[in-house]
Amino acid sequence: MIPCILAFDWLLFYSPRSSEPDRPDYAKMAKTYFHVFLRLLFSFYDCIIDFFFGLYYNDTTRKYISGVDYPFMLESASSVARKIRNKEMSSVDVVNAYIARIAQVNGILNSVVDERYKDAIEEAKQADKMIESGEWSKERLEKERPFHGVPISTKESTAIKGMRHTFGLTLRAHETAPDDAEVIKSMRRAGAIPFVLTNIPELNMWYETRCNVYGQTNNPYDTNRTVGGSSGGESSLISACGSPLGIGTDVGGSVRMPAYFCGIFGHKPTSGMINLQGLTRKAAEHTEMSLTCPGPICKHAEDLLPTMKVLMQGSKVELDLTTKVDVAKLRFFYIEDDCGDLRVSPIQSDQLNALRKAVKYVGELTGVPPKKLVPSKWKYGYKVWRYLITQEPERLAWELTNRNGTVCWWWETLRFFTGTSPYTLPSILRLIDLNVFPKENPEWVKEVLESLLGDLKRELGDNGVLLHPTHPTTAFYHNAAHLRPWNFTYTSIINALKLPATQIPMGLNSKGLPLGVQAIANPYCDRLTIAVAQELEQAFGGWVPPFKTI
């Protein structure tokens, strides 16, 4: 089946893209009918996938996580920090509570892959002593150390000194980080206490979370289903109340997709602002040109702004995160689907309804119906992203060897099918994609990017927000992504355009799976998408726990 999908990609999307002469109407009609036929065919294809995977992953194999022992675990990290500052709770008690929670859920979810519990408890004791001493006032703590005493998590590819740093590669199974990543240093200065690392896919290069070092992470809403990737361990743990706040990275949707599948918030900042030192072998000098962006993952939108303020410390870019946003005065736009990319699954009806609910609400709030956009070049999102990712300083064939040579794509493909390759199937497929299919024309990519970005900038201005589905489907069964390899285009196009975007939960569908939308704005307008996230959280309830609450 996978070779058939790759062949379909070749036939449909590698034809010459030079300007075509005007076609007779009958040709355009034939093309339209053909597109409709393919859409129906792919809808049937999706149903077949879900049917057979559903037979394999049935309710008898599903596991359930228990509710929390402490009500504060349902609250935001900012709320926990306030209670610590006000001496309503001690940092030590909070850290110990989250350690106990991980013991409850990690055997089911497989989210946490390394811990520093002993050191975290010692740091919590020091945080409590600082409060007891009166050395810092509550006001000063709130301003300079907004997460004082709060435990946080991050993905295994984010360096924390002395902790595992394998990137999911078996060749690095015993590697540890020599120093903290810059984003971790910033969070420490803000008073946060890193206490666990979470699971990732191999080299962060897939939208499911599974690797040969740590295995597979499960979704807290349905353990037979994916958590997304690459920040899947983070999102799974946070949604299950195993951590109050996490730092992820987003190169093609790696913060927003897992947050969506796990029913929580995730923000991808405007690209090029936050120091990348210590993130999957990124260096500080990669910050401005890379598609990779660190960003917050959390249960409550209240945590997005304070975390962004911390991560922005030391940035060369001035980002206005303090000016209050009146959402009722914003202008809204929306895109309902992929706008014609035939490789991507048709959007599910419940996900489309979630988008339309959000569109209807903001229309009533502002008194102006949001404008529907159908950008003609939106369907080229994956091809543009694919080209840009090959311009990153890292090279997949080199990274897979732990930077000790290069991998031969056809040899590793043979080894995979004989069970002797140390790499995962997504890495093999990525090697095939990069080595077999033609590369995109740089001039064509530049033209598409300029056209898309120019149109969006003109439409959105400095007070416009675009609503768009985060993904075409709800959380699918484990491994089904191999048969839907291009569905992450809904998020990767935003990375290609280097725009800020916030994933916003929109409740659950009839199967108890999370729904969501992403809010997108022009560069450096992060405060707008975060404000919309806060507004929609108030309107639709935000995160719904994946367990029963009293």
235 and 259 in contact (C-beta within 8 Å)? yes
Our answer to whether residue 457 is catalytic in this structure is no
Neighbours of 353 (CB within 10 A): 14
As a whole number of angstroms, the distance between CA 383 and CA 444 comes to 10
- Phi, psi at residue 417, to the nearest 5°? -75, -10
Catalytic residue among 78, 111, 155, 243: 155
222 and 57 in contact (C-beta within 8 Å)? no
* Closest listed residue to residue 244, CA positions, set 346, 94, 112: 94
- How many alpha carbons lie under 13 Å from residue 436 in its C-beta half-sphere? 14
Could you tell me the two tokens for 35?
């597109």
Q: Which residues have C-beta within 8 Å of that of residue 388, sequence separation ≥ 6? A: 291, 445, 495, 496
- Phi, psi at residue 506, to the nearest 5°? -130, 40
Kindly provide the residue ranges of all beta strands, DSSP E only, lying in 260-390, ordered along the sequence: 265-268, 293-298, 331-334, 371-372
281 and 167 in contact (C-beta within 8 Å)? yes
Could you tell me the two tokens for 481?
């992504």
- Phi, psi at residue 198, to the nearest 5°? -120, 165
Residue 391 burial (10 A CB sphere; 0-12, 13-18, 19+) = exposed
- How many alpha carbons lie under 13 Å from residue 479 in its C-beta half-sphere? 10
Catalytic residue among 186, 230, 231, 345: 230
Asked whether the bond before 230 is cis by omega within 30 degrees of 0, the reply is yes
Our answer to whether residue 254 is catalytic in this structure is yes
Q: Look at the alpha carbons of 223, 167, 189, 275 in this order and tell me if their dihedral is positive or negative.
A: negative
DSSP helix/strand/coil, 380: helix
* Closest listed residue to residue 472, CA positions, set 266, 228, 249, 291: 228
Our answer to whether residue 78 is catalytic in this structure is no
Catalytic residue among 243, 254, 290, 492: 254
Q: Which residues have C-beta within 8 Å of that of residue 478, sequence separation ≥ 6? A: 57, 208, 210, 216, 218, 224, 225, 226
- Element housing 237 (H / E): helix 232-239
DSSP state of 341: -
As a whole number of angstroms, the distance between CA 365 and CA 15 comes to 45
> Cα-Cα-Cα-Cα dihedral of 317, 321, 327, 333, to 10°?
20
As a whole number of angstroms, the distance between CA 399 and CA 354 comes to 39
Active site residues: 155, 230, 254
